[in-house]
Amino acid sequence: MAHRLANHLDAVIAGHEHPVPLGLCEAINGKIRVLRFQARGYRDPEYFKLKIFQRCSLPDNPWAQIVL
């Protein structure tokens, strides 16, 4: 388990320094899931990323504007 955590240590530390409400994460994941299902797959990953930002009303950096 320690080796697995070592590979993701930066993300674990960032998660503790900048907590994000899990409800917000689940809402965004749900919107992405619906978007992916409705689109039947995108060929361009950057276009899919753009559609996620549009659907979720997120700026270019989705976590920059979160107020806790």
Instruction: Report the percentage of the chain scoring pLDDT > 90.
Output: 0
- Sign of the torsion formed by the C-alpha atoms of 15, 10, 26 and 2: negative
Residue 15 φ/ψ, nearest 5 degrees: -65, -30
CA separation for the pair 31, 55 (Å, rounded): 7
Q: Which pLDDT value is given to residue 61?
A: 55
| Amino acid type, 5 | L
pLDDT at 66 over 80: no
Domain boundaries, the chain: 21-59
Helix, strand, coil shares of the chain as percentages rounded to 5? 65, 0, 35
Contact of 54 with 62, CB cutoff 8 Å: no
Q: What integer is the mean pLDDT of 2-30?
A: 83
pTM of the model: 0.54
